[in-house]
Amino acid sequence: MVFECSRKPRQRRKEARPSEIIAAAVELWKERGFAATRLEDIAKGAGIAKGTVYRYFPSKEAVFEAAVEEQIASTTMGRADDLRTANANSEEMLLRYFENVRAELVDSGSFIFLKVLLAEGHRFPDLVRKYEDLVIKNGADVVRGILRRGVDRGELKPQAMNLDPTLVMAPAMMLSLWGTVFDGIQVPDVQHMHHQHVALLLSSLQSEAI
């Protein structure tokens, strides 16, 4: 006896489409760069019509913004909340922060956004400003929160609040760009570098009462 299968062909969920578009765009940016990638290329990479892309994103720049929000900003915000609620001292908090940045920008491949901005940011200043708003400023807020928490707990000197947070963030940003700027040169020992950086910071910021 032969039974007919009445199951309908599987359809992709409509709400999954933006993520598919973003994933296709990121892969193309890795291969071609931002300027050379057209919306029709992104649509082809996602296996959809160009018109479908426009349902979700009015421009290629909007795809970039959404990609940064999805792949970096949203997860970074969650990890920032974890840092704020953690029961750890300032040294542990700073090391956790660097570990989060490494995992987000280096291990996950999200360094592609910095690569795009480094190579083509002068042509797309709005993308630079958006990245600054979504990633750089948020990272600076996290660092300020760690320093403020350390001062409030008596672990750090009050002068710690005068420290420019980008100075704290600098090694993490440099390492995230290493493969782009110094391709072929051995990557430093990330964990060792972060421990050294935190030790240098604490040597000048740590409260004498500790």
Confidence band (pLDDT; 50, 70, 90) for 114? Answer: confident
Q: pLDDT, tens digit, for every residue of 3-19?
A: 344 444 334 445 558 99
Residue 77 forms part of a structural domain: yes
22 found inside a domain: no
Give 45 or 184, the one with higher predicted confidence: 45
- Cα dihedral: 23, 28, 29, 33 (round 10): -170
> What is the structure's pLDDT at 10?
39
Residue 33, in any domain of the structure: no
CB 205 within 8 Å of CB 161: no
pLDDT tens profile 121-177: 899 999 999 888 888 888 888 899 999 999 999 999 999 999 999 998 888 777 777
**CATH code of the domain containing 95:** 1.10.357
Looking at the domain assignment, is residue 56 inside a domain? Answer: no
Residue range(s) defining the domain that contains residue 102? 61-204
The torsion defined by the Cα of 95, 178, 32 and 58, in degrees rounded to 10, comes to: 30
Q: Which residue has the higher pLDDT, 154 or 70?
A: 154
Q: How many CA atoms lie within 13 A of 163 on its CB side?
A: 27
Q: Give domain status of residue 41, yes or no.
A: no
**pTM confidence score:** 0.76
Domain count, the chain: 1
Residue 20 lies in a domain: no
Does residue 45 lie within any of the structural domains?
no
- Any domain includes 54: no
| Residue-level pLDDT at 174 | 79
Which of 194-198, 199-203, 205-209 is least confident?
205-209
Distance CA 73, CA 65 (A): 10
DSSP code per residue over 48-107: S-HHHHHHH-SSHHHHHHHHHIIIIIHHHHHHHHHHHH----HHHHHHHHHHHHIIIIII
